[in-house]
Amino acid sequence: MYVGDRLVMSKLSIDQMKGVFSGEYSLDDAIKEFVRSQLSYRYLLVADDPTARALEKHGLEIAKGQGAELLNSIVG
């Protein structure tokens, strides 16, 4: 997912962008704040990597046409 690139950086002011480049402004903190205030998510513990990947693929199939393409470049 490209939350930082697609949803957070595009909203930063010029001064904030300069702060990111100089290290005075934390892009990580801005992303965390955005995720906590604007998004919701759930997670599921699974037994192994193949199961996780199969579930991810299934979820991406369900999300097609609902805006997932903006955030996840592997949606095909």
Together in a domain, 8 and 27: yes
Together in a domain, 61 and 26: no
Q: CA 48: distance to chain centroid?
A: 23
Together in a domain, 28 and 46: no
Mean pLDDT calculated for residue range 7-26: 93
Together in a domain, 33 and 47: no
**0.85 surpassed by pTM:** no
Tens of pLDDT, residues 28-75: 999 999 989 988 878 889 999 999 999 988 888 887 777 666 666 554
Nearest to 68 by CA among 53, 55, 56: 56
Number of domains in the chain: 2
Residue 73: domain span:
42-76
d(CA 4, CA 28): 8
Together in a domain, 27 and 48: no
Together in a domain, 21 and 49: no
d(CA 76, CA 57): 10
Confidence at residue 75, expressed as pLDDT on a 0 to 100 scale: 47
Residue with tokens 């005075």: 24
